[in-house]
Amino acid sequence: MRVFRYPEQATWDSIVTRPSLDTRQTEERVLPILEAVRTQGDAAVKEFTMRFDGAMPEALLVTDQERKQAAALLSEELKAAIRQAYANIKKFHEAQREAEVVVETMPGVRCWRRSVAIQRVGIYVPGGTAPLFSTVLMLAVPAAVAGCPEIVMCTPPAKDGSVNPAILFTADLAGVHKIYKIGGAQAVAAMAYGTEAVPRVDKIFGPGNQYVTVAKQLVSKEGVAIDMPAGPSEVLVIADATANPAYVAVDLLSQAEHGADSHVMLVTDSETLLMAVQEEVARQLAELPRRALAEPALEHSRLILVRDLNEAVALSNRYAPEHLIMAVSEAEAWSEQVVNAGSVFLGHLTPESVGDYASGTNHTLPTNGYARAYSGVSLDSFIKKITYQRLSAQGLQHLGRHVAHMAEAESLDAHKNAVLLRLQDLD
């Protein structure tokens, strides 16, 4: 990890810049996949599943029998852990419901807003080297809490045509209606356009590799809603002299092990801690099973020494991390200065891992600096807010002439007349 000591603010932007990703080649590979699925449906999906996953499932749709058998293949400890995570995530997202409030903006003019669930949502769950059953919880639970009538999920099959049992068990628990054995860009295409087997969805959620990410971005240009722009996973740790170097090191490695394109940073006002973290990262990396993935990520990551914590928080806000760990004394007080972050982890006993799995917050978060303007997935991601208004005779008489004057000033005579005709009848 590259070390920067007391960098001047003028250099911060260059220091916190993520590694650039050139997606042109990926787009060239993804576009034909999208077009093939759009025009050939299930036949194209099956061809790509065989080509990329080496699997040819008997049917794309997971059967009820497969779903029921999944529970028997998991340990009781893992099932208990998943159930606890489910309960926490459901509780946190249920608390995000908003009461319907009617506001009388002036006598006889009532306005309100109603939450309506998106009718059909699609969830993509990665498989491969890390089958992310936790992602099922993070997406299906708020979808179910929101009341989405149809929750569709795609996940890549193993070579024998099976789906990871933890993914199936979690999907069953969380209320997923249909599960398909489809991965990669072809899964995004199937959900975006619909095929003979897969229904077209209104919004697509979920992380994935570069092909899934680019596929989501491409279909979003065609009017298919997606959760948010996505990029490689990232964490920034702000630590002071009270932090445990071993904790900080493992927090950095927990993001680096996601893949070679992950981005991790430490910002500290303690030279002693910085040196200790360097040593700990090297020691723990040597024992990490996913070292081959973590090591390249560390090569483009940063250790930054600043003058004080005010500078540390300011630099973090400039970076806008997906995950921000504040391993400092009085962490909650310092967190009040945070304005750009996907999710914040406060104190020495709150590793980022708890948010990834089971604290209750959502782990689907904005990356690549999008935390400056985007929120992570929440209950709101699965609902639409429709506004309503109703005017009484008194309301139209109070408001109508103001609207007519404004419409006339904009040379929109039909708008003006829509009000005046009604006022004439009332008069």
Binding-site positions: 124, 186, 209, 233, 255, 258, 323, 356, 410, 415
Catalytically annotated residue among 93, 257, 311, 323: 323
Find how far residue 310's CA is from the centre of its chain.
Answer: 29
Q: Any residues with CB less than 8 A from the CB of 390 and at least 6 apart, and which?
A: 110
The CA distance from 341 to 319, in Å, is 9
Contact 241, 272 (CB under 8 A): yes
The CA distance from 179 to 166, in Å, is 13
Contact 301, 263 (CB under 8 A): yes
DSSP string, 289-309: TTHHHHHHHHHT-EEEE-SSH
Residues making up the binding site for substrate: 233, 255, 258, 323, 356, 410, 415
Residues making up the binding site for NAD(+): 124, 186, 209
The CA distance from 270 to 329, in Å, is 13
The CA distance from 273 to 255, in Å, is 20
Catalytically annotated residue among 322, 336, 398, 408: 322
Q: 187 is written with which tokens?
A: 């899964």
Residue bearing tokens 């060239």: 28
The CA distance from 219 to 13, in Å, is 31
Q: 91 is written with which tokens?
A: 């509780």
Give the strand pairing for 109-117 and 383-391. antiparallel
H/E run at residue 267: strand 263-268
Kindly tell me the burial class for residue 154, based on how many C-beta atoms sit within 10 Å of its own C-beta (0-12, 13-18, 19 or more): buried
Whether 402 is catalytic: no
H/E run at residue 120: strand 120-124
Find how far residue 218's CA is from the centre of its chain.
Answer: 17
Contact 252, 235 (CB under 8 A): yes
Query: How many CB atoms lie under 10 A from the CB of residue 272?
Result: 10
The CA distance from 412 to 414, in Å, is 6
Contact 226, 219 (CB under 8 A): yes
Whether 100 is catalytic: no
Active-site residues, by number, are: 322-323
